[in-house]
Amino acid sequence: MPSFTLTSDNASRLMRLRQFGPRLTVPGFRGQSLAFDAQGRHLASMGRGAEGTLQWWELRDDSPRVLAHQVMQRGTHAGFLAGGDLLVSLTLQGALQSWSTVDGTLRHELRLNAIGLELGMALQGDLVLVTSPQGHAFLWNARRGARVRELENTSKPLQCCALSPDGRLAVAGTREPGSLPGVLRFWETTTGAALPTLDFDAHSVKAMAFEPSGQRLAVATSENQIHLIEVATRKRLRTLEGPSVGTHELSFSPDGSLLAVACAMAAFVVLRTEDGKKLFSHWDNNDMQASSALFSPDGRTLVWGQGDGTVGVWGMAPAHSVTP
């Protein structure tokens, strides 16, 4: 395992340590949605496309062990519940499912009325937040397989969402091409009540992520800006310059000093949250894909879904090692 925590002092020297997983040659491959469990013991990949796959691995030092491989038509999202024993998946057709990470069996399934690319999903604890282009947002307890509640309807198309680390706050961003402003919407998860919104000078909100401490929220917009929001006050602390090709997904390092920005076209960059300085960037040759770039829970590595369907692991190699 890499022995160095990634920081703003060493992130510019990131290197690919290894890669794993099968190469995907299916037509229409559009990238991967990746997810760690909270302990960093497992990693899941949802291969997006007409002939997608859902697979997950037990992470080991040198050779991750594949635990299951499911055919998943038009999959969009994947994520682990608390404890890492259940994995949740979502498809374009509105199938929301939970799987045992031990034996790959299907535990619960919910068929949604919403269909579309803009379906959003976020997990915290045993709760799953799902948002739709029709403006619906609801909570599902994936461990019990039961709806918790519908959140107050926004009547605006929603395309991305997040749950705060304590599970008390749900957030979603609107998607309204051709009109302003893009809106960030908040709800209390315990009651489903809507809270005051936050407007942006942008057509839509593209991605968001909570800092692990819960103190800040990063929000990327269609204007290639990434806003850092103080959660307690809903105030904008600073605005960072996002990638020119657009932002697909965001991930904070555990200490909040770094932000991994998965680009809309076959790339990721790492920004310093203090001032927005770009410390590292990487591209591959499949510009038709957009994949997650995530910091591991221990902050020692960053994983990115590569254009050939494999997963690349990036970090700082020990001084005595040689990277192939």
- Convert the pLDDT of each residue in 283-300 to its tens digit: 987 778 899 999 999 999
Residue percentage of the chain with pLDDT more than 70:
93
CA 89 to chain centre: 13
Mean pLDDT on 224-245: 94
DSSP 1-29: ---S---TTTGGG-EEEEEES-----TT-
Whole-number pLDDT of residue 281: 96
Nearest CA to 307 among 267, 254, 270? 267
Cβ neighbours around 145 below 10 Å, total:
14
Contact between 148 and 141 (Cβ < 8 Å):
yes
d(CA 94, CA 113): 7
Q: In this model, does residue 321 exceed pLDDT 50? A: no
For residues 113 and 323, the model is more confident at: 113
Q: In this model, does residue 214 exceed pLDDT 80? A: yes
Q: Which domains does the chain have, with CATH numbers?
A: 11-314 (2.130.10.10)
d(CA 296, CA 280): 17
Whole-number pLDDT of residue 104: 92
Mean pLDDT on 56-68: 86
**Which is it for strands 235-241 and 225-230: parallel, antiparallel or unpaired?**
antiparallel
Contact between 103 and 77 (Cβ < 8 Å):
no
Mean pLDDT on 94-108: 93
Whole-number pLDDT of residue 1: 56
Whole-number pLDDT of residue 225: 95
pLDDT (tens digit, 9 = 90+) per residue, 110-147?
998 765 556 899 999 999 999 988 888 999 999 999 99
Residue percentage of the chain with pLDDT more than 90:
67
Q: In this model, does residue 320 exceed pLDDT 60? A: no
Nearest CA to 161 among 202, 128, 208, 124? 208
pTM: 0.92
SS3 309: coil
Residues 6+ apart with CB under 8 A from 270: 11, 14, 258, 259, 260, 261, 278, 279, 280, 281, 302
Nearest CA to 313 among 2, 35, 24, 16? 16
Average pLDDT, the chain: 89
Token pair 């991967």: residue: 32
pLDDT (tens digit, 9 = 90+) per residue, 252-293?
999 999 999 999 888 999 999 999 999 999 998 777 889 999
Mean pLDDT on 40-66: 88
Whole-number pLDDT of residue 322: 42
Whole-number pLDDT of residue 177: 61
Whole-number pLDDT of residue 116: 57
- Indicate the helix (H) or strand (E) that contains 251: strand 247-252
Q: Count of residues for the chain?
A: 324
For residue 71, list its beta bridge partners: 53
Q: In this model, does residue 323 exceed pLDDT 50? A: no
